[in-house]
Amino acid sequence: MTDQTPLPEDLEGLAGEYVLGTLDPNERAEAERLLAAHPGFAEAVRRWEDRLSPLSDTTAPEVPPDLVWRNLEASLDREASAPAEGATGAEVIDLTRRLAFWRGTAVAAGALAAGLAGFVLFSGLAERVFNPTAGQRYVAVVNRGGELPALIVSVDPADGVVKVRSLAAEQPQGKSLEVWYVADGAEAPVSLGLVDAKASTTSLHPTRRADYARKGSAIAISVEPEGGSPTGLPTGPVVYSGKLVKAE
């Protein structure tokens, strides 16, 4: 593979300048296109990187701030919770992709529930956490893939107040976690509000659009731009979800 015919000089120059970083945006885009499509060009780029690499060594190393690694770890955690395209993580769904679904006319009932298959077995944890008083209450233990609960959401149907207790939820930097009520069926999710990043418990205002007693309803948490979804519907990946169950 190494003894191929030489590239025309203009391509060789383009490859070299790509490595130098001096191409204008159009040329740079062209170089990136060639890089993907033209093995000879990609090889030329690689050789330029190699030729010039001793110059990189003229730059003194500098220890980066700790924050970089911490942010990286947080990104990887998020990535692990939001599988790449095509993967069908049971606990994690991309609500954005599902929006087209809801807007459609004939959505099979239960399709969403299937998407939110992360059925959380109610283990009694919520009682211990909330120590509920008399009266019915609905609780969702919100997590992702078999991990420990990230949030516990409890609803008191009497006043409609939703309490979100943050256990291990990661608040991505510069983003908000938005809480959604998702009915089992064809309706779009209803925003309940944002998780307060600084408090361990957030109380959300009641909404009459959510019927927590409805069978198969669930709570989902999506990552949204700071301040919440600009559209009123989830725009980012759902990082946590859990079904609402009755807590006696």
Element (H, E) at 163: strand 161-166
- 67 lines the binding site for other proteins (CB under 8 A): yes
Report, in Å, the least distance between residue 226 CB and other proteins. 17
Question: How many Å apart are CA 107 and CA 128, to the nearest integer?
Answer: 38
Q: How many residues bind other proteins (CB under 8 A)?
A: 39
Residue in 4, 8, 29, 75 binding other proteins, rule: CB under 8 A: 75
Identity (one letter) of the amino acid at 56? S
Task: Provide the minimum distance between the beta carbon of 186 and other proteins in the complex, in angstroms, as a whole number.
Answer: 35
- Residue 104 contacts by C-beta under 8 Å, 6 or more apart in sequence? none
Residues 7-46 contacting other proteins, CB under 8 A:
9, 12-13, 16-17, 19-22, 24-25, 28, 43, 46
Q: Which helix (H) or strand (E) holds 42?
A: helix 39-56
Contact track, other proteins, 189-218, x by CB under 8 A: ------------------------------
Which string of b and e fits 5-17 if b means at least 16 CB within 10 Å?
eebeeebbebbbb
Q: Give the binding site for other proteins (CB under 8 A).
A: 9, 12-13, 16-17, 19-22, 24-25, 28, 43, 46, 48-65, 67-69, 71-72, 75-76
